[in-house]
Structure 1
Amino acid sequence: MTTEFQTDASVSKTNMDTINIGNRLKAKRLELEFDERHVATELKISIDQVRALEANNFKYFRSITFARGFLKSYCRLLGIEPSEMLRAFDSEREDTEPTIKPVDKVNKQTNFGDPIVIFISVVIVAVLVFLVFWWPSQSSVSVASNEIKNEVSETATAPDLDATEAFSGESSGSVDTSNVSNSNSGADTDVASVDNAESVPSVQVEKPASNSGVVTGLSAETMAILEEAGVKPEDVIRATAEVPAELAAAPKLPSYTDEVEIAFDADCWTEVRDASGKILFSGVKSAGSQLSLTGKAPYRIVLGYAKGVSSLKYKGEVFDFSSFTHKDLARFELK
């Protein structure tokens, strides 16, 4: 009795193993005159998955569980009893891989049209754009601001240098006594000044009558050294008295009326903010117009069409903003 039951079971299993699942599905589909697209639409799967079922290529699917579910749905669509087909399917899988495959097999179903793939791609592109364009531009603006600050400092100290050079030129032939000291510790400096004076013809000046033979402002030791060197103390005192008058020249006035001056030769959207964030100007400047502003530095400037600006001056000096321009958009700061 037991032997007979085992024999029937073996025959049944042999019959199930001989079922060609794919061929039976395809034959029934053709019999019903269904095309592959119709089946894919009804089952809500792709045409490639329909072809994989009919070719017994169940490894194409993400997992055996998905393949088994699609097979069951396909059988119901064609009017085939799914139980026999599923038993044949399961018997072929008994000694094969587990029902659920590792997660890395999911990549077979992934394509570039998935929303997650698109989102990740957009994030990566945005980060690359930030690193390539925005970050270097901010570094350049900082460096340029420091250069502008140094130029302004040099411009501010230029009048003092010019006045000193003018004094040196007008008083050639006389002795510079700015380093002459009233104490004995300044004797070495006086000797150096006398040595320089010996090589240049001195200017002869008549001794003022009001001095009445008495020279003031120089120590007795300094006067003795000057006389031994052949330099009249009167010349030294006269040159010293004229120094304040030369240096008392009126300070040089700035050559500009507004700190920021922009000229336009084409329409350009412009925005200028001062240090407090206040918008000094925001709008479109037409071709041939000018914009002059004065506020509290630093100024943050944005030019929508940088090619439309013919010149830009900051505190009377031409400022080159070409290094801060990208695709006709310029963004920089003036300090």
Structure 2
Amino acid sequence: MNRYQQLLFGGVALLLTLAGMSLIFGAQTLSINTVLQTLWQGGEQDFIINHYRLPRILIAILVGIGLAVSGVLTQGIIRNPLASPDLMGVSGGAGLAACSVLLIWPNIGSAWLPVVALLGGFSAALIIWLLSRWQQPSPARLALVGIAMSAFLSSCINFLLVIHPIEVNSAMIWLTGSLWGRSWSYIWPLLPWLLTLVPFSFYLAWRLDLFALGEDTAEALGVDTQRLQVMALLSAVALASVSVAVCGTIGFVGLLAPHLARLLVGSRHKLVLPIAALVGALLVLSADTLARNLAPPLELPAGVLTAILGAPYFIFLLHRYKGW
């Protein structure tokens, strides 16, 4: 077993261990025997295990994978180590659309949120793309426009919260990146997108490796760079948008996971993608598990914990790369 296989095996083992701990610990701590018996046969703790903790664990893993793969694609196509869906305005666009619906139509079904978030994410991405292509297009310009758009969209969300004070509680829980109250109904709208787009990202992997050498070099080696950029950005936007629709804006996962994966396995996207997906799942699941257990029965939003971890790391990256 080589080092890469050891990393994959160790990551999966760690994820399963963390998932088991998340099933056991909470406002009510359960024994291992109780958890196993309830998983297979139901019983007195059936609601807590099978209808509260288990779907929440699965959602945390899926959202972590979606945000991490979206971050890998975003950084790969922009060729900027500071790029991520939340910093580039994509998560903000999805968040604004979903927040608008939650405030105006608070009883909307969970199945519609990914659709609305996709429209918002794609709209923000289209505006960012058009503005970045105006006069001397470059990855740096795309990143700058994305950061400016993210700030603008955050202001729009704050404005909506001010003019809809009655419905603000449900929106605030969602905006801070909380998995509270997430059930099986939130998994089914998310799962088809991940089952389609995560494998598709592996199809783009070697093309992104060549694209990292420069557009001229990639085209000389047979890569249609314009088509690659469109496919990668659309995939990244879709993954980030549906993830945001399910549990709100969990910041910095799309930035941290690709970086940590590259530190472990280098820059080849074929190797980075699985490790980044594991790291993203571990980040979101560990943040949610801590959020449930730090001060039970109260819960912290998982997005608060990822921000506490991610913000200092982003400042470190800014210093390391001198802004770019």
* Structure exhibiting the larger radius of gyration computed from Cα positions: 1
Looking at both structures, which has the greater relative contact order when contacts are Cα pairs under 8 Å and sequence separation is at least 6? 2
User: In proportion to residue count, which structure has more helix?
Assistant: 2
Shorter-chain TM-score: which interval? Answer: under 0.3
TM-score, normalised by the number of residues in structure 2: 0.18
TM-score, normalised by the number of residues in structure 1: 0.18
